[in-house]
Structures are given as C-alpha cells and as structure tokens.
Amino acid sequence: MLNRFLIVVLAILNVGVALWWMAPRAPEPPLPEPAETGVARLELVVPEALPATAAVAAPPTAEAADPPAAADSAAERCLSLGPFADKARAQAAVATLGADLLRSHLREVPPRAASSYRVILPPAATREEAQATAKRIADAGFGDYFVMGQGEEANAIALGQYRSREGAERRQATLVEAGFPAQLLASGGEEASSWWLDAAHAGTVSAAALQRRSGAQRQQVLDCARLR
C-alpha cells in the first residue's frame, strides 16, 4: 500500500512540474546598464516639424536691388537746344525751362568760316543799265569785273571771288569808297559764333515742347554721358 501511495504522489508531482514549465511567463526586465561616474549621458532630441506654410525669406540679391536704380537712370533724357545768338539768350532759355531740367550746361560754338567770298553789285533793272555801270567801274580804274547774263543774278556785276574774308572786305571797301554799292556774299555756309544749351530732363515733357518754350531753332539728341 505504501509503495502505491508513493507512486501516485510522484506521478502527481511530475504532472505539476510539467504544467509549471508549460505555463507562459512574463519576460524578465533588462538589467540596468551600469552608470559611469563623471560622464554625461547623451539624449536624442527630435525637433518639432515646421508648419507646412512656414517659408524662409531669402535675403535680397544685388540683381533685385539694381532695377529701381536702372529705371531711374533710363528715365533721364538729354538733348541740345540752339543755336542762340549770344550767351544771354541761352541763359534766358535755362531760366524759362526751370524745373523741367535736371542739369544743364551752356556751350559756345566758335564761328565757322565760309569756303569763299564774292564781291558783287546787285542786279540792275536791264542789261543796258548793267553794262553802263560796268563801264563806269572800268573808268574808275577797277579791273576784274563781269556782267552776269543768266540765273537769279542776271544783270549783276561780279567784282571778284576770294578765299579769305579779309581780301573780299578790302575789295568791297575800295569799291564803296568809289561810289559803287558793292556787297559781300559768303559761299559755303559761313556761321557766326553761337551758344547751345545741353540739358538733361526727366522725360515728363517732350523734347519738342522744351524746344518751343526755349525759343531754340533746333534740337539735337545728346548722349547723357557727354553732358558735363
């Protein structure tokens, strides 16, 4: 009897041990890492995400800053107004234009000599009258004359052509002293000295309006770089 009782007890114990091993167990917590003294621990910090609408403004570039200055420079217009007979009239033009001019400069143009000069007597009413005058010129001791027979100066008397103005003026003076109303004509575009107004304006007033108000005969486009 005792042997059977021990066998039954051992069987029950074996079954209990088997059931214990088969039962699920919770994982054991990891052992804490040993802390080292004197060493700071590193912690990973995850930054918060920026909002989708946030934008970083870029600093202005040199190209972005240039257009306004370029536009101001492009708005400037330059021109020359003239010719004025003297400096006083050019200065009066500056005063008349006033605030419409950004800057201005008065420029004197020296006189330009003609290519040649002629001394003549004006045309007579008839051919006979011109020939009679020519005879009187010859009788007064003057040579180098010619009665012109056609064109706008028909029946005029040519009294010489000169390269220099001084020579033509001397010839004219001697004829006038002798009683002949000789005239001096320049050929080749002789011009006396004149004054011009070089000016810069903002373009708010047309060049034609500036010319009209200044009293200038002509206007010319001027490179602003040449305006001193």
**pTM for this model (two decimals):** 0.41
Domain 70-112+192-226 sits in CATH at: 3.30.70
pLDDT digits (tens, 9 = 90+) for 184-228: 988 876 667 899 999 999 988 999 999 999 999 999 999 999 887
Alpha helices in 46-164 (DSSP H): 62-75, 87-97, 127-139
70-112+192-226 shares its CATH topology with 116-187: yes
Q: Give the CATH fold of the 116-187 domain.
A: Alpha-Beta Plaits (3.30.70)
Q: For helices 207-214 and 87-97, what crossing angle results, to 10°? A: 130
Domain coordinates of the chain in residue numbers?
A: 70-112+192-226, 116-187
pLDDT digits (tens, 9 = 90+) for 100-131: 999 999 999 887 767 788 999 999 999 999 99
Strands 194-201, 146-147: pairing kind: unpaired
DSSP 8-class letter at 49: P
Cis peptide before 83 (omega within 30 of 0): yes
